[in-house]
Amino acid sequence: MFDAVTSLNMKRVQRHLLAVEDEHVIDLVEKHPIAYFKSSVWFLGAVAVWAIAGWLYPTFTSFLVLVGFGLLGKGLYDIFATMMDVFVITNMRVFRISGVLTVQIATMPITRILDITVYKPLAGRIIGYGHFIFESAAQAQGLRDIKYIGRPDERDLTIQRVVQRAGLRGRMSSLESDT
């Protein structure tokens, strides 16, 4: 299933690449599986409500069945929203495509990245996820917080390599020789 989602996301991403400028994808970053945890809680809530509807409150059965379907719908929507939220690292920029019914695309050229903070909570350190916090010259942007990134240290190094290859930061040896 996840291979089909990756293929679908890659097709969505290809439409936004600057082919004339020879832009290509370096890394397509989908959410870590832990991001689906909240959706599973909605599903468990639906099952619990249906169990209660059939067992404890027979007079409110139809209302509780509708509440269960509402919880199930919310869980399904959250799953789709998580699957459709991708972060892309290219040779020229980073961008994020998100949204199920409406689509939001947030882009930041490599030249605008001032700082990346990688935040790894304890659970993230154990199972391999983290969050990115981007700092740029324009603080109000859709790429500030990217949550539930799998293998965040590797992804951070990938971005740093792209920035280095773009020639935006001098080599350490040239900086040291100036002092």
Cα gap 63→71, rounded to integer Å: 13
- Say yes or no: 105 and 22 in one domain: yes
- Say yes or no: 75 and 90 in one domain: no
Take residue 130 and report the two structure tokens written for it: 């983290």
Take residue 5 and report the two structure tokens written for it: 């989602």
CB 96 within 8 A of CB 142: yes
- Whether residue 173 has pLDDT greater than 60: no
**pLDDT tens, residue by residue, 134-162:** 887 665 566 788 999 999 999 999 998 88
Total-model pTM: 0.78
For Cα atoms 19, 20, 23, give the angle at the middle one, nearest 5 degrees.
45
- Say yes or no: 129 and 146 in one domain: yes
- Say yes or no: 103 and 26 in one domain: yes
**pLDDT tens, residue by residue, 104-135:** 998 888 888 888 899 999 999 999 999 998 88
